[in-house]
Chain A
Amino acid sequence: MTAPAPSPLLRLSLRAASEGLAAGRHSARDLTEACLARIEATDGRVGAFLHVTAEAARAAAAASAARRAAGRALGPLDGVPLALKDLFLTQGVPTTAGSRLLEGFVPPVDGTAVARLKRAGAVLLGKLNLDEFAMGSSNENSAFKPCRNPWDLTRTPGGSSGGSAAALAARQCYGTLGTDTGGSIRLPASFCGVVGVKPSYGRVSRSGVVAFASSLDQPGPLGREVWDAAALLQAIAGHDPADQTSSSRPVDDYLAGLEGGARGLRVGVPAEWFQGGLEPGVEAAVRGALSAYQRLGATLVEISLPHSRYGIGAYYLIATAEASSNLARYDGVRFGRRAAGVKGLKELYLESRAQGFGAEPKRRIMLGTYALSAGYYDAYYLRAQKVRTLIRRDFDAAFQRCDVVAGPVAPGPAFRLGERTGDPLQMYLADIFTITCNLAALPGLSVPCGLSAGLPVGLQLVGRPFDEAGLLTAARALERELGPAGAPAGLEAA
């Protein structure tokens, strides 16, 4: 029995799929069945999905079709198949955060972003693979299975939102949500040749997203094209009374000015991001993107972010400190995994946590607990917070002279599975260019800007606080100039 040929519908962007629905060229059911078949055919090799909700997806597609037939379609996402990083709480659907500890945990409610996608009529296909509790840069810390890069199945898709990027590159769905604490949307987007947006801290509600590091976490969209990510962000952005750290600033229209081009744009190029260590293919692609901006009428401005070099250090103090506290609730008492055969409370705690957490969460809990301990707090956590302020000031100063900051997402393209698992520090350095954006609470994105030895390279753009619209417009200009990233070579052409 031969596999059926991949449906031509899978080649569509979210935008094209959405327009086709509006024009009646295909139905929500057509799109949903095409994606489910694609997942069935490819995910054994990719490993992007932890849980596929086929029946719920079919029901949502039918409901969407009924709305559309009645002339009551809800908007551009109505009937479009999407998928979610398994860090988002989904009512009645298992949510694991990539951890054995939460195996069997079924949330009683949807997270805010999930609820907003449902209200927009989206068809949700299931839950996507990730590093355990979003801790990792390669998706290899998933407690269930590794996820592979559709461009080269021997390589990682990046992390922690590895499944969110890989599913898009493998054409298993039209858009996904991920979360970004230190680069967890932008790095996999770069590695997999898709667009990934980390919004300003507070732009998207964190309510209903399993917490890693509360002051850095930010949910965001991934799409195959800039328009796709912009439409998803439009649906999920905005104040949420259930998250007091979410901003009450009005949400801009991300689609209206998207084709505004780059003429007159001042693109800041931080010297520190190009000082050695860049893989030559990556540097070439990134410099190519900067030249493209010049062709489009933008000017390049040399800027300096002198405190970037302290970013990794500050990040791994703040993120681990907050994580050590956020992960304390997984004690085996109320939900999730509880160790069997234990005697007494202390043993219940120790065994449940020892058995439930993988190596990386354990490492970060220890680092964070240490950083917050009496006598160390001032030297570590407090000082890291001060570094954070300095990093933000660097950007504030830069934005006096430029409109966006541009540079590489990561020093190299997707690395091989197993290549860095023995060296956590090397793994942490994959985030060296992305974490400052989280520390400064700024919006950032990754947009494809070429290939290095056949592997996708992303350009990182960082914008002013809450200027997601400007950032997306700049990314769209580059996308139009350079064309799409192309089809992954790791899977058969779809």
Chain B
Amino acid sequence: MPVSDFQAVLGLEVHAQLLTRTKIFCGCPTTFGGEPNTHVCPVCLGMPGVLPVLSGQVVEFAVLTGLALGCTIREKSVFARKNYFYPDLPKGYQISQYEAPICEGGGLTITVDGREKHVRLTRIHMEEDAGKNLHDVSADGSSGVDLNRAGVPLLEIVSEPDLRSADEAVEYLKALRSILLTLGVNDGNLEEGSFRCDANVSVMRKGATRYGTRAEIKNMNSFRHLRQAVEFEVRRQVELVEAGQPVVQETRLFDPDRGETRSMRSKEDAHDYRYFPEPDLPPVLVPAAQVARLRAALPELPRARAARYVAALGLPPGDAAILVADRATADFFDATVTLRGGGPEAARKAANWLNGEVARLVNETGLAAGAWRLTPAHLARVLELLDGGAISGAGAKAVVEEVFRSGADPAAVVQARGLAQVSDAGAIEAVVDRVLAAAPAEVERHRSGKKDLTGFFVGQVMKALKGQGNPAVVNALLKQKLGGG
């Protein structure tokens, strides 16, 4: 199929759970997990006679997010009821925003294949999450409902159909995630669903001006799923169009096991949500002074920070992008660089360690930056020991790993595990002399130029030094003693 004749058109709807301590309309905790129906009260259970009370923190987070994304903040926004029946929806309606969302317009810039692209946003609105249906909870096969999540605050962030490939969609989602993490309003967890997205996908022939019929794809729990789902769906739609068949407007579910999308419900089954303004809540007022205060409180955003790392610290753009993806890591980086006296040299080393060994440990343990036992002071100390030759590169790795897990003092780890490196030239010279004296034949072969046996001699010296010799000193002395080369 000549997919290349077609242009994919994508828009993403992201649902981001806000990191507030309490739910959006009641005082129940938002903590993930817990026994079913333990984080509930009459309000989030939708009992008769109870009323929602809007959390001020949710509005602050929404405005902060809108400002970071260049949106227009509505001075007066309105909650609306989205009416439909489902057991996980206790009131029979979701309190959301419809005609007057809190943020409109705005956008963000992504870099794909070295090219910058601006992706426009349609809107951002506040709403409550639903609960969760649990099937086959008892022997008779009946289902249950867990309402712990009901009423957890969400931001829905809707993009314009500006994305043109799976790559762009993934980059957009990564950039958005990194901004929300930087703002501290969301934990960016795709797997647990606290940061999730639906994709609107359509295709059109290249050069066409009218978009094709779109399908909405749900259930993508990772960047990889998003890529797979979009690529599959684009292929599927192109095949339909090529075969002269219509693309049906519908909702499709991504099946991660088979890597395909499957029809969930068609437009004919679509709900009529009967939106109307929520009469239990007055309009949300965001005065100019509040906007100004939040604007002043905006942290440095990822793209600006990465640009600063490249311009002022000379980091490669790729390294800078990785560091700024999450604010805690970037803050860790800044603190480490400062402790090492600043400058490009310190920055390069700190970045290498954070993006290398530390990133490996993070992947292995799944610990978020805030939860590491390793501190910037620890890492700075390890780098200092390494630079001073007190430990080897391998030793430094061992120290970082141990400190990452235990939080112990690096110097104490070096001591306890005997990782101190021998850099004393006199002591090493004595060993080198001994090794050379013990292998006259090899010395002769090396000197005659028949074979470069440097590696052999280094190995022998290191063995004698129990692996703790400073490689630079060992190499220099060997070179000097063996002459030539």
Contacts and interface: CB of A to CB of B under 8 A. Distances in A.
A102 B48 contact: yes
Interface string B192-231: 0000000000000000000000000000000000000000
B269 to A, nearest CB: 13
A105 interface: yes
Nearest to A327: B92
A345 B144 CA distance: 12
Interface in A364-384: 369, 372-374, 377, 381
A89 B49 contact: yes
B81 A334 contact: no
Interface in A329-354: 329-331, 333-335, 345, 349
Interface in A165-218: 206-211, 213-215
A234 to B, nearest CB: 23
A209 B49 contact: yes
Contact of B45 (A207, A334, A377): A334
Nearest to A368: B274
B85 A331 contact: yes
Interface in A282-328: 321-322, 324-325, 327-328
Nearest to B52: A244
Interface stretch (A50-58, A106-114, A417-425, A461-469): A106-114
A107 B43 CA distance: 12
Contacts of B282: 244-245
A95 B276 CA distance: 28
Interface string B78-111: 0001010101001111000000000000000000
B54 A244 contact: yes
A259 interface: no
A276 to B, nearest CB: 34
B83 A210 contact: no
Interface in A55-91: 87-89
A381 B91 contact: no
Given A109-B42, A325-B81, A373-B272, A208 B91 contact: no
B50 A207 contact: yes
A83 to B, nearest CB: 18
Task: Tell me if A's interface is mostly helix, strand, loop or mixed.
Answer: loop
Contacts of B53: 241-244
Interface string B52-85: 1110000000000000000000000000010101
Interface in B340-390: none
Contacts of B322: none
Contacts of A89: 48-49
Contact of A325 (B51, B83, B90): B83
A215 B279 CA distance: 5
B274 A372 contact: yes
Nearest to B37: A334
Contact of A214 (B42, B46, B272, B279): B279
A325 B277 CA distance: 11
A447 interface: no
A95 B47 CA distance: 12
A331 B89 CA distance: 10
A242 B276 contact: no
A405 interface: no
A374 B85 CA distance: 17
A126 B91 CA distance: 28
Given A244-B281, A325-B93, A334-B46, A377 B51 contact: no
B145 A333 contact: yes
A373 B272 CA distance: 7
B242 interface: no
Interface residues of A, number: 45
Contact of A211 (B48, B83, B274): B48
Given A243-B51, A333-B87, A372 B279 contact: no
A215 B79 CA distance: 14
B152 to A, nearest CB: 18
A105 B51 CA distance: 18
A457 interface: no
A95 B49 CA distance: 11
B47 A372 contact: no
A118 to B, nearest CB: 16
B280 interface: yes
A359 to B, nearest CB: 20
B42 to A, nearest CB: 6
A97 interface: yes
B36 to A, nearest CB: 13
Contacts of A324: 83, 274
Contacts of A215: 279
Contacts of A102: 48
A328 B91 contact: yes
A330 B93 CA distance: 12
Nearest to A243: B51
A322 B276 CA distance: 9
A328 to B, nearest CB: 2
Given A349-B85, A369-B274, A374-B272, A95 B48 contact: yes
Contacts of A329: 46-48, 90-92
B276 A210 contact: no
Interface of A: 87-89, 95, 97, 102, 105, 107-109, 111, 206-211, 213-215, 241-245, 321-322, 324-325, 327-331, 333-335, 345, 349, 369, 372-374, 377, 381
Cβ-closest 8 pairs across A and B = A328-B92, A214-B279, A372-B274, A215-B279, A210-B48, A329-B46, A89-B49, A210-B49
Given A211-B280, A244-B281, 8 more contacts: A89-B49, A108-B42, A207-B50, A245-B279, A329-B92, A331-B87, A334-B145, A381-B276
13 contacts: A88-B49, A107-B48, A108-B47, A209-B49, A325-B92, A325-B93, A325-B274, A328-B85, A328-B91, A328-B92, A329-B91, A345-B87, A372-B274
